[in-house]
Amino acid sequence: MENPLTKNLNSSQLEAVLCTEGPLIIFAGAGTGKTRVITHRIAYLLSLGIAPWSILAVTFTNKAAMEMKQRVNALVPQTGANVWISTFHSFCAYFLRLETSKIDLNHDFLIYDFSDQKNVIKDCFKELNIDEKKFKISNIVDKISRAKDNLQSPSDMANEAINAGDLVGTTTATIYQLYQKKLEKTGALDFGDLIMRTVLALQHYPSLLEHYQRKYKYIMVDEYQDTNCAQYTLVKLLVQKHFNICVCGDDDQSVYSWRGADINNILDFEKDYPNAKSVKLEQNYRSTPKILKTANNVVKHNDNRISKQLWTQNPDDGSVSIISAANENDEAIRVVDLISLKTSNCEYNFSDFAVFYRTNSQSRTFEDAFRRIGIPYVIIGTLRFYDRAEIKDIMAYLKFIHNTNDNVSFKRIVNVPKRGIGKISLDLLENFAVSKGISIWQAIPFSQEAGLPKGAINALNSFAQIIKKFINLKNAASVKEIAQKIITHSGYLKELENENTTEAKIKIENIQELISAISDFEKRSPDKSLSGYLTQIALVSDLDSLDESKGRITLMTLHLAKGLEFNNVFLCGLEEGLFPIGESAFEPEELAEERRLMYVGMTRAKKHLYMCWATERTVFGKTKWNMPSRFITEAGFTAEISPIELIKKQNFNNRFNTYQENNYYKKSKAKYPNNNQFYVPSNDNTVYTSTKDTSPYKIGIFVSHPVFGKGKIIEKNGVGNDLKLVVLFETGQWKKLLARVANLTLI
């Protein structure tokens, strides 16, 4: 009798699901049903009588983990709920909390976010007399995080820097050492510590390692191409007894090397596990054939990859098109006009559109354009709800109540709301605490000895009394009740009400939303403790709150786009120097990752893909002429656009022509009277050429410049007095030149 859990799977998916024993690697192309395979494989294992608590599945986002949990529960009700499915960080936080007594770790440890880390580093700078102007704090945080990803201790970093003669590295190692001491004294871990401390615990305590190796007989890792050294080592430690490891991923979607991900982990899997079975998922269920063809065209230019050719049985009813704009504002107008058209005729909802870009700064022109027209949108990856000042204030109170050694939270809340405790008094108290090796909270009874004035001493004592009352609630009240007491009894709410400004009212609304969120946590979570709540919030990511069903256009950087899909996708800013970004074009590995990022963006599109570039763009106040991204050419296009006359000749819907002429072209003509570039929506991969060019400058011919020397014309744009040429010179430089003033000689 056929197992219902293996029905409706294609042959490759079925092969992966039925392979339960030994190492297995699933190369899952974009949109090929990766999550379906993982969840059906877990359900199939359960149907064979495998105990749910012996299965561990890890991925990278809470959203992905939640989706997997829901699918497994639907496939195997009740039993499926007992399988551990989570992010790497959630699993490690659970492990560390459970094993604190065995590994010499404070059970009430806090998890510091990026903001907390920066504050601790700032204190390190102060103690070490390091000039913040010479060493950027965020860079130091990043270097320390990368060290932990690579399982490097402060001494490891110092030795490496000394051997390399790296003075900056030596200073960073000194900061890292002090930073770590401060975390240990506070009883705090950062994100890097969660995995590094778990790995070290398993390495240093053989009995602990043996217990978890016996416990987890089947381990599955999603997005394996995104694993770093620490995550790779963690998985390798856990599987050494049973070797029933299944990893799933796509080397063509490895785009996080800048945060420690090592593509070699997936490429070398079969070297690590010589008996591994390999399965490729190549049938795509998301996109149209045209989108897959152009995406394949781009990514095949990378050399170091596992060969895959995505294909689909989806109808060939979509399109891939180029939008060429005069500048970044024109780019935004064209995108907005096209979205307006497609939503006004009820063809699509706003939630069917996504605008992707390479850098956060590119969002501004789209935001301005959407606001002017009144189109709703949401930006992913900017200020999160939990990063807002008022929310971080309340969270700091909760964290400090949980662990009074938390100097970062103490300094945030001690004068919020205002209590008359100035910076000078706080510095005196902190310096005294450092000299005695105690926390700032522990130093309060010695405020007079520390040299604080009487007013500050009284204010601190009053603050201490409030905090002690909150601490007494820690084990006697719910998290929601504690938070409500903090908001009212601390004076925080009263101060906002007294302000009586629009901004203050918004802050109050956000705090009320926080209480609702806590209430929701208490309904959903099995661990309703303050510790459980703080752990959950520390692990929240930007994408966890994304609701694609809401009627808003989604704006985000390409790095956040993985795992998402939209009917219509705009890839914007496709220009050399912007995407691929900076000098990456001259570094093969960096260029390969930029190309994979392009592939990720392209394969988010289900129906229509629009690749956008602007002939000039203002960046940091300077306007630059641009060369279209090589990715446009690699996709099989020429980045030239037809004028309005050619559009009229095409057999397009009359409503479209009328809409575009009346709405966009009039605005464009008024703003850019010499601009004849225009977007052509096509049902094929055609991009029409501009008005006839009669100049002697042809692509491929050689020219000589009085300053730059001999070169070859590799791109051209515009006609007549507006003709611009891109010339690649023998020096390796390329220049964009206005033909009428460039003084070029034909060779």
**In the annotation, is 448 catalytic?**
no
Distance CA 378, CA 356 (A): 12
15 is catalytic: no
Candidates 494, 490, 466; CA nearest to 404 is 466
Residues with Cβ within 8 Å of 559's Cβ and at least 6 positions away in sequence, in order, are: 255, 256, 597
Is beta strand 724-729 parallel, antiparallel or unpaired with respect to 709-717? antiparallel
CA nearest to 493, candidates 473, 506, 511, 517: 511
The catalytically annotated residue of 34, 41, 412, 716 is 34
702-705 and 709-717 strand pairing: antiparallel
Tokens of 579: 């995407």
Three-state SS annotation for 313-340: CCCCCCEEEEEEECCHHHHHHHHHHHHH
Please state, in angstroms and rounded to a whole number, the distance separating the CA atoms of residues 294 and 609: 10
What is the token pair recorded at 489? Answer: 């009894």
In DSSP notation, 521-589 reads: HHHH-S--SHHHHHHHHHT--GGGG--TTSS-EEEEEGGG-TT--EEEEEE---BTBBTTBTTGGGSHH
Residue 499 designated active-site: no
To 10 degrees, the CA torsion angle through 88, 236, 181, 124? -70
Query: Prior bond to 643 cis, omega within 30?
Result: no
Exposure string of 622-660, with b = 16+ CB inside 10 Å and e = fewer, is eebbbbbbbbbebbebebbbbbbebbeeeeeeeebeebb
Q: Positive or negative, the Cα torsion across 597, 600, 603, 604?
A: negative
Catalytic entry in 32, 152, 225, 253: 253
- Active-site residue, from 99, 108, 113, 222: 222
Active site residue 222: yes
- How is residue 747 written in tokens? 């060779």
The H or E element spanning position 24 is strand 24-28
In terms of residues, how long is the chain? 747
CA dist 307 and 299 (Å) reads 10
Report d(CA 266, CA 545) in Å as an integer: 29
- Give whole-number Cα distances, 365 to 49, 546, 617, in Å: 56, 22, 11
- Paired with 84 in beta bridges are 56
Q: At what angle do helices 479-489 and 389-402 cross, to 10 degrees?
A: 110
Exposure of 112 by Cβ count < 10 A (0-12 exposed, 13-18 middle, 19+ buried)? buried
Exactly one of 604, 607, 630, 736 is catalytic; name it: 604
The 3-state DSSP class for residue 280 equals strand
Beta bridge partners of 745: 704
**Among residues 99, 116, 149, 223, which one is catalytic?**
223
CA dihedral 65→70→74→77, nearest 10 degrees, is 90
How far apart are alpha carbons 592 and 595 in whole angstroms?
5
Residue 352 CB contacts under 8 Å (≥ 6 apart), including other chains: 566, 567, 568
Strands 218-221 and 245-249, bridge-based pairing: parallel
Please calculate the CA angle 656-657-659 and round it to the nearest 5 degrees.
65
Strands (E), 136-274: 188-190, 218-221, 245-249
Report which secondary-structure segment, H or E, holds 110.
strand 110-112
For the annotated catalytic residues, the residue numbers are 34-35, 222-223, 253, 604
